Amino acid sequence: MSALEQSDTAVRSNGAAQGQAGRIEVHNPATGEVIGHVDDMTAGQVEALVERARRAQPEWEAIGFDGRGEVMRELRYWVVQNRERVLDVLVKENGKTREDALLAEMFYVCDALGFWAKHARKYLADERIKTHSPLLMGKRVVLRHRPHGVVGVIGPWNYPLTNSFGDCIPALMAGNSVVLKPSEVTPLTNLMLGEAMREIGAPPDALLVATGAGQAGAALIEHVDMVHFTGSTATGRKVAVEAARRLIPVSLELGGKDPMIVLREADVERAANMAVQWSMSNSGQICIAVERVYVEEPVYDEFVQKVVEKTRALRQGPPGTPGGVDVGAMTNAPQVEIVRSHVQDALDKGAEVLVGGKASQGPGQFFEPTVLTGVDHTMKIMTEETFGPTLPIMKVRDADEAVRLANESRYGLNSSVFSKDIAKGEHVARQLHAGNACVNDALMNYLALEAPFGGSRESGLGARHGAPGIRKYCATQTLLITRFGPKKEFGMYPNKAWQAKAFERVMVAMWGRKPKRRK
Ligand code: NAD
């Protein structure tokens, strides 16, 4: 079945092809050809999907962690069995290499399906809370987590599986039904996953996919009980405003401008390999890509020379069979223009391009892997999210200057420090204003599903992974349970002067002594 037929079938079986919706063309960015069409759903169609999900939620919650875990494992089996078909669509709609689709998306999602199936129960178990208050002696206090109801997940185009479907997994395991609104640029893979849920016989409508552009996402926020958003900081701010208006919980995974710091005693070869890999992979369209590098003076020349050699050796082109190319296409045409403008702005202000620097002439959308030096913080390429295959490198005097420049940013997503002196590397990492920091590594922290991953500053609110990554999909309920109680407790009506006096005496006895201060 062709990708076009697949997408149309998936849309029909999603039950939303009828109505007034317009159609969105989906392109293969590596070739320019049209590979499918999906509905640009109206607000009414999105609302209808949320209603269906709402009706399905009680049954989904009722099957419990074991039942939902079975569905997740069944889905993982489906993904593995259908991997060629899924990878084909993923590569075609995104333009990324097959290796990136396999490792950073399919492998991640299969791992996450098993992880949440196994650990959701533990993270969401009731917590017995021991209280300090003498007034609560003999009473039981319990914190429980229960699903919000219907969760809306809105995703970007750079990782259709990992950053759209991936965020549905803990929401589903918590007992919510989910309506997923993938990016209008890359909706096909997620439609396949929605189709897969039906194929494996999952309870109907526990997961539904709403296709469409920004207005479909906005309509989703109008009706769900909680929203998880991954995308740009600009859109994330709008999502937060709408969620605040409705007073529903929101978690935001937004843009970044991740710094790498290479200290004088670093393993320069490893640092250069990491810098090239994680700035050029997926054409730099990774929220946690290395977007700028600060290198201490003594190793600057060696680092630049290695990065230039390694970048020149990269093979770019339309992704085909495994091992064919290293860097694929740019997924979204407007992004190519942003990358081009950042490079031009840097050149206008005195930077030098050592490798690459240009967009290709079509038919596909490509931007050459690009290395720049002579950059500074007056340039967009050092301060704004470029989201392309660019690596600007800046020379710094010492670690303090590197930290100051790394922190001179409105973002705070990931970061990395390279040093053979581990204590020094960790000391520097701890000074970085970023939600995540790696020492002698980059990006790999994303695979630690037990550890919260989230952005600080304008890179986001909340976290995915770990306990917070599933508890955010739940409301809490604190229970106070009194098993044996007198008919009437001390201090109850009618008010009596002697009781108030007794409370006052207790208070003065406990807290009435002047505290000592340290000299
Ligand atoms: P985007 O903000 O343009 O779009 C993201 C999603 O929001 C799309 O599905 C879009 O249709 C929808 N949308 C647009 N307007 C909306 C509105 N008013 N209300 C609700 N939804 C709306 O982002 P993008 O260009 O698709 O993705 C790239 C961005 O995503 C980059 O900034 C990247 O850093 C970020 N990102 C962050 C992470 C992370 O984990 N922090 C992961 C991947 C991508």
pLDDT classification of 363: cutoffs 50, 70, 90: confident
Average pLDDT value for residue range 305-311: 98
Distance (angstroms) between ligand 1 centre and the Cα of 237 equals: 11
Percent of the chain predicted with pLDDT > 70: 96
- Sorting pLDDT into bands at 50, 70 and 90, what band is 15? very low
Residue nearest to atom 8 of ligand 1 (CA): 183
Model confidence at 20, in pLDDT bands (50, 70, 90)? low
Q: Is the pLDDT of residue 10 over 80?
A: no
Amino acid (one-letter) located at 369: P
Which tokens is 52 given?
A: 């269906």
* 6, pLDDT greater than 70: no
Cα-to-centroid distance, 230 and ligand 1 (Å)? 5
**Ligand 1 close to Cβ of residue 285 (< 6 A):** no
Q: Which residues of 9-48 are buried (b: 16+ CB within 10 A; e: fewer)?
A: ebbeebebbeeebeebebbbbbbeeebbbbbbbbeebbbb
Q: Calculate mean pLDDT across residues 96-112.
A: 98
Q: Does the CB atom of residue 387 touch ligand 1 within 6 A?
A: yes
> At 353, is the pLDDT very low, low, confident or very high (cuts 50, 70, 90)?
very high
Res. 5 pLDDT band, cuts 50 70 90: very low
Tens digits of per-residue pLDDT, 439-451? 999 999 999 999 9
Q: Is pLDDT of 91 > 80?
A: yes
Instruction: Tell me if 254 CB under 6 Å of ligand 1.
Output: yes
Asked whether the predicted pLDDT for residue 13 surpasses 90, the reply is no
Res. 3: pLDDT tops 90: no
Count H helices, E strands: the chain?
18, 20
Distance CA(424)–CA(435), nearest Å, equals 19
Query: Per-residue pLDDT averaged across 258-287, rounded?
Result: 98
**More reliable by pLDDT, 480 or 490:** 480
pLDDT at 21: 67
**Is any ligand 1 atom within 6 A of the Cβ of residue 159?**
yes
Task: Give the span between the Cα atoms of 345 and 65, in whole angstroms.
Answer: 53
So what's the pLDDT on residue 9? 40
- Looking at residue 441, its pLDDT comes to 98
Q: Do β-strands 460-461 and 250-253 pair in parallel, antiparallel, or remain unpaired?
A: antiparallel
Model confidence pLDDT, tens digit, residues 171-190: 999 999 999 999 999 999 99
